[in-house]
């Protein structure tokens, strides 16, 4: 998601709006409220979406301008996520007599659309948007490069990958693409591409997750003691990007790397 951060973006937008609001206040002799749709979301990584940033910005603007007491900044969604914004939009459209789909067909989330203005639906901002539409039980009315089913499937996968690799989650057993997958090739880290396992070491453990008897000599997988869930286990993490992968068990038959399928990308060969 860090790849979607635009340097100093919200300071620039707010600054333009503040200047405009000051001229409206002067011309029309009125107070002006600026409503910004910034939100911290479920993954609070954007520093310019934090309340303390707007408090400081607001103070700086008021110090630097006459008549700043006529201008106020409102941040109605600062503690919300995109789903909450969409739910509020449904109500607002009803109140204002607007067509929800028409309004949202004219919005743009992608930072990198194709020549027709369509998004691939794979950036962090897009994934959040797609999952928000899914959460309210509607299709996103904007056109993506792929159809809605494919775009939604990709977004659900991206969210699961985030939950497993960055939040130490576990995918449901018997659901991963590589659980019953025995082609010849290499299994790389889905996040950074580092080589982790070779197909020769893969076996069917019956536990519902991909199992490997040893790691690739290149992998240098990190092993950590994990005392969560009342068990003493060895957690394994990618040495390339420090993402959670799964656990390592030492059994009578030998080592078993029990890896979440969503953490792996398979390369034939
Ligand atoms: Zn990695």
CATH number at residue 197: 2.170.150.20
Asked whether residue 93 is assigned to any structural domain, the reply reads yes
Asked if residue 179 is part of any domain, the answer here is no
Q: 59 and 119 share a domain?
A: no
Q: Do 70 and 86 reside in the same domain of the chain?
A: no
* CA 216 to ligand 1 centroid distance, Å: 13
Q: Quote the distance between the C-alpha of residue 148 and its chain's center.
A: 18
Token code pair at residue 211: 């199992």
Dist CA 221 CA 124 (whole Å): 27
Distance 82 CA to ligand 1 centre (A): 28
Q: Based on the fold, state whether residues 239 and 208 are members of the same structural domain.
A: yes
Q: Does 22 reside within a domain?
A: yes
Per-residue pLDDT at 110: 83
- Using the 3D structure, point to which of 165, 199, 227 is the last residue of a domain: 165
User: 218 CA to middle of ligand 1, Å?
Assistant: 12
Per the annotation, the verdict on 189 as an active-site residue is no
Q: How far is the CA of 158 from the centre of ligand 1 (A)?
A: 15
Say yes or no: 50 and 115 in one domain: no
Write down which residue in 47, 74, 101 finishes a domain: 74
Residue 177 lies in a domain: no
pLDDT digits 0-9 by tens, 22-31: 999 999 999 9
Share the mean pLDDT of the chain. 93
In a domain, 173, yes or no: no
C-alpha of residue 194 to centroid of ligand 1, in Å:
6
- pLDDT-derived band at 37 (thresholds 50, 70, 90) equals confident
Q: What's the pLDDT at 205?
A: 93
Distance 51 CA to ligand 1 centre (A): 33
Task: Say whether both 216 and 255 belong to one domain.
Answer: yes
Q: 87 with 57, same domain?
A: no
38 domain residue, yes or no: yes
47 in any annotated domain: yes
Q: Say how many Å lie between the CA of residue 189 and the centre of ligand 1.
A: 5
- The tens digit of pLDDT for each residue in 151-179 reads 999 999 999 999 999 999 999 999 999 99
Percent of the chain past pLDDT 70, that is, above it, reads 97
**Residue 78, pLDDT above cutoff 80:** yes
pLDDT > 80? residue 44: no
What secondary structure letter does DSSP report for 119? B
d(CA 243, CA 252): 28
Mean pLDDT of 193-209: 96
Q: Specify whether the CB–CB gap between 86 and 136 falls below 8 A.
A: yes
Ramachandran quadrant class, 229 (left: phi over 0; alpha: psi -120 to 50; beta: rest): left
CA distance 56 to 67: 18
Task: State how beta strands 244-251 and 233-237 pair.
Answer: antiparallel
- Count, in order, helices (H) and strands (E) of the chain: 6, 11
194, 245: one domain: yes
Mean pLDDT of 102-108: 94
Task: Judge whether 35 lies within some domain.
Answer: yes
52 and 116 housed in the same domain: no
Are the C-beta atoms of 122 and 129 separated by less than 8 Å?
Answer: no
My answer on whether 100 and 155 are in the same domain is yes
131 lies in which domain range? Answer: 82-165
State how many domains the chain has.
3
Dist. CA 269 → ligand 1 center (Å): 20
87 and 150 co-located in one domain? yes
244 pLDDT more than 90: yes
**pLDDT at residue 228 is higher than 70:** yes
On whether both 93 and 127 belong to a single domain, the answer is yes
Alpha carbon separation from 181 to 205, 208, 222 (Å, rounded): 12, 12, 24
pTM, whole model, 2 decimals?
Answer: 0.79
Which residues are placed with Cβ below 5 angstroms of ligand 1, an ion?
A: 189, 191-192, 194, 238, 240-241
Residue of 49, 189, 238, 258 marked active site: 258
Regarding whether 154 and 115 lie in a shared domain, the answer is: yes
């Amino acid at each position: 998601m860090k790849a979607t951060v635009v340097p100093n973006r919200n300071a620039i937008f707010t600054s333009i709006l503040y200047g405009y609001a000051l001229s409206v206040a002067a011309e029309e002799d009125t107070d002006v409220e600026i409503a910004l749709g910034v939100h911290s979301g479920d993954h609070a990584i954007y520093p310019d979406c934090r309340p303390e940033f707007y408090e400081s910005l607001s103070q700086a603007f008021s110090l630097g301008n006459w008549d700043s007491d006529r201008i106020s900044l409102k941040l109605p969604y600062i503690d919300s996520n995109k789903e909450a914004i969409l739910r509020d939009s449904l109500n607002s459209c009803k109140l204002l007599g607007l067509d929800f789909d028409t309004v949202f067909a004219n919005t743009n989330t992608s930072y990198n659309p194709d020549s027709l203005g369509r998004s691939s639906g794979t950036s962090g901002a897009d994934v959040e948007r797609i999952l928000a539409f899914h959460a309210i039980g509607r299709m996103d009315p904007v056109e993506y490069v792929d159809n809605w089913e494919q775009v939604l499937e990709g977004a659900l996968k991206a969210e699961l990958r985030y939950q497993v690799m960055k939040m130490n989650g576990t995918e449901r057993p018997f659901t991963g693409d590589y659980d019953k997958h025995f082609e010849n090739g290499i299994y790389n880290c889905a996040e950074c591409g580092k080589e982790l396992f070779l197909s020769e070491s893969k076996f069917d453990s019956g536990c519902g997750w991909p199992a490997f008897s040893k790691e690739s000599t290149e992998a240098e997988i990190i092993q950590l003691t994990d005392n969560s869930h009342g068990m003493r286990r060895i957690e394994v993490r990618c040495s390339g990007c420090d993402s959670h992968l799964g656990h390592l068990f030492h059994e009578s038959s030998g080592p078993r790397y029990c890896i979440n399928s969503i953490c792996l990308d398979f390369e034939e060969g």
